[in-house]
Amino acid sequence: MLRRVPTESMSRPLVAEVSLSALRHNLSVVRRYAPASQVFAVIKANGYGHGLLRVAAALREAEGFAVLNLGEAQQLREAGFEQSILLLEGFFSADELPQIAKQGISVVVHSPWQVAAINSALITGVNVFLKINTGMNRLGFPPAEVAEVCHALRLGGRLDQCALMTHFATADDERGISAQLEQFAAATAGQRGQRCMANSAAILRYPQTHADWVRPGIMLYGASPFAGQAAADLDLRPAMTLRSRLIAIQQIKPGEAVGYGRSFVAEQAMTVGIVACGYADGYPRHAGTGTPVLVEGVRSRTLGRVSMDMLAVDLTAVPLAGVGSPVVLWGEGLPVEEVAAAAGTISYELLTALAPRVPVREMS
Ligand SMILES: Cc1ncc(COP(=O)(O)O)c(C=O)c1O
């Protein structure tokens, strides 16, 4: 049987394709679900691995961007983005406040020291999103303290507005949001200010959480937040496709092993393809034998341990594959959630771990 042979010269073939139209489409899905809400597109962690400024440009119709730190916010301002920008953990030091005020950046306030810092800073016009801990026990004020903290912030006279926000711990599973939503409603009853609660899962499942602002992350990148529901069923399109090619072929005999630790041993003679992609590219090292992969568009599986720069795949179902055959690690045709699940992790981790050494090809 004739295998494919390379016909073109090859540089290392690994590339992450980022589809700007998929990003735009996924924002339109957010709009469809939450038509009356403003959108903070969550673009922290380098736009979930897709590129901060690239994603911001594709999603420039969002009313705001949510990021982790002042550095990201400054990059956005320097690139000319004038939308609202929200620092999801607020400021880490009071020294950041003058820049925050100057650049018109909104801050989450989750701890008493931040309230004190704002009230004693020589600034005005700060936009605060007061974080309320409704059950996640990560960041935020206890519901019983909300009225008092709002009062203290307003009294301090530094604020432009004080919005109220919370974050859901189980919007993506059957436990849902009701307990947290009840806490939030009780804690904020009678308080002025905009409301901001919903992550992707809540946007897709719980319209009662949409309120003034929604905060979609993962759905913008085309991955499903739900373990049992595919992104395509939610009309989401993968924004990143990690593509590579086979760079070598091995014929192995029964009893022979593949890769470090000899963890995969062939039961019969088989053909193995070696793919230019490894854990130093962000592919999860803990993805064991059987993690799905597409070779020449045909679904196959990885074999043995992932190396730093390479991984091995089973070519039994792709007899014509050879050096140069295209491989999709995740993305179009192979949802990143599926690869993540097979590797015992979540799509968020795979996308955000894409290594800087992987070239990105922007697709309109
Ligand atoms: C506070 C906050 N809001 C919203 C999001 C977006 O969540 P998702 O990506 O699940 O939509 C995140 C993500 O980590 C977050 O930390």
CA 198 – ligand 1 centroid, Å: 8
CA 266 – ligand 1 centroid, Å: 42
CA 64 – ligand 1 centroid, Å: 14
**Per-residue confidence (pLDDT) for residue 8, from 0 to 100:** 56
SS3 at position 146: helix
Residue 284 has pLDDT above 70, yes or no: yes
Instruction: Tell me the residue ranges of DSSP E strands in 264-318.
Output: 264-265, 270-275, 292-295, 298-303, 311-314
The reply to whether 144 and 249 lie within a common domain is no
The reply to whether 197 and 277 lie within a common domain is no
Would 3 be classed as within a structural domain?
A: no
- Assess whether the C-beta atom of 41 lies below 6 angstroms from ligand 1: no
- Assess whether the C-beta atom of 44 lies below 6 angstroms from ligand 1: no
The reply to whether 204 and 65 lie within a common domain is yes
- Assess whether the C-beta atom of 200 lies below 6 angstroms from ligand 1: yes
**pLDDT of 122-132, one tens digit each?**
899 999 999 99
Residues labelled catalytic = 44, 260
Burial of 31 (0-12, 13-18, 19+ CB in 10 A): middle
Please tell me the distance from the alpha carbon of residue 126 to that of residue 215, in angstroms, as a whole number. 20
Residue at which a domain ends, from 194, 227, 260:
227
Query: Which protein residue has the closest C-alpha to ligand 1 atom 14?
Result: 217
- The letter for the amino acid at 40 is F
**pLDDT of 205-222, one tens digit each?**
999 999 999 999 999 999
Which among 167, 204, 336, 351 is the best mutation to test ligand 1's pocket, defined by most ligand atoms within 8 Å of the CB? 167
Q: What is the 3-state secondary structure (H, E, C) of 48-114?
A: HCCCHHHHHHHCCCCCEEEECCHHHHHHHHHCCCCCEEEECCCCCCHHHHHHHHHCCCEEEECCHHH
The reply to whether 187 and 43 lie within a common domain is yes
**pLDDT of 25-84, one tens digit each?**
999 999 999 999 999 999 999 999 999 999 999 999 999 999 999 999 999 999 999 999
**Per-residue confidence (pLDDT) for residue 261, from 0 to 100:** 97
Residue at which a domain ends, from 164, 197, 227:
227
Question: In Å, how far from its chain's centre is CA 44?
Answer: 8
How many domains does the structure of the chain reveal? 2
- Assess whether the C-beta atom of 218 lies below 6 angstroms from ligand 1: yes
Would 9 be classed as within a structural domain?
A: no
Instruction: Tell me the residue ranges of DSSP E strands in 115-221.
Output: 126-131, 159-165, 195-196, 213-214
- Assess whether the C-beta atom of 199 lies below 6 angstroms from ligand 1: yes
Range of the domain at 252: 238-363
Would 15 be classed as within a structural domain?
A: no
Nearest alpha carbon to residue 238 among 166, 333, 322, 154: 333
Task: Mention every residue, 6+ apart, whose C-beta is less than 8 A from residue 246.
Answer: 273, 274, 275, 295, 313, 321, 322, 323, 324, 325, 327
Integer Rg of the chain from CA: 24
**pLDDT of 68-125, one tens digit each?**
999 999 999 999 999 999 999 999 999 999 999 999 999 999 999 999 999 999 899 9
- Assess whether the C-beta atom of 284 lies below 6 angstroms from ligand 1: no
**Per-residue confidence (pLDDT) for residue 100, from 0 to 100:** 96
Please tell me the distance from the alpha carbon of residue 176 to that of residue 201, in angstroms, as a whole number. 9
CA 44 – ligand 1 centroid, Å: 9
The reply to whether 218 and 252 lie within a common domain is no
Which conformational region is residue 213 in: left (phi greater than 0), alpha (psi within -120 to 50 degrees), or beta? beta
Mean of the pLDDT values across residues 283-289?
Answer: 97
**Per-residue confidence (pLDDT) for residue 104, from 0 to 100:** 96
The reply to whether 275 and 222 lie within a common domain is no
Mean of the pLDDT values across residues 318-336?
Answer: 97
Question: In Å, how far from its chain's centre is CA 58?
Answer: 15
**Per-residue confidence (pLDDT) for residue 6, from 0 to 100:** 63
**Per-residue confidence (pLDDT) for residue 1, from 0 to 100:** 56
The reply to whether 83 and 170 lie within a common domain is yes
